Amino acid sequence: MSDLCLEFPTSKTSMDDIRPHLDTALKEQFPGGMMKSHWEDDVLHLHGPGAAGTVTLDGDKLVGKASLRPPASLMRPVIEKKMTEVLSKAAT
């Protein structure tokens, strides 16, 4: 298993401000429905083949955390690159 943690500074003060940007960026980076997501209050839960994670707002940082196991762990560089793009877009 491989853990992934990405943090991006943001001036946005609530997930209500971030939510539409996250949803749009996820659809752009993960088309085709392989990555499923749902919201529970201010926490975005993500899951796909071999992957489970969350995105939260922690003070002035947007934080993405995931646990990756096969087959997702084999694609860690690709997933990390795509999630970096998603979180950086949503944070700005």
Q: Which CATH architecture has domain 2-91?
A: 2-Layer Sandwich (3.30)
Nearest to 14 by CA among 36, 41, 33: 41
β strands within the chain, DSSP E? 2-9, 36-40, 43-48, 51-58, 61-68
pLDDT in tens, 33-73: 888 999 999 999 999 999 999 999 999 999 999 999 999 99
The three-point CA angle 81-87-92 to 5° equals 130
When mean pLDDT is compared across 34-38, 63-67, 83-87, 88-92, the lowest value belongs to 34-38
Q: Bridge partners of 56?
A: 63
Sorted by where each begins, the domain ranges of the chain are 2-91
Q: What is the pTM of this model?
A: 0.92
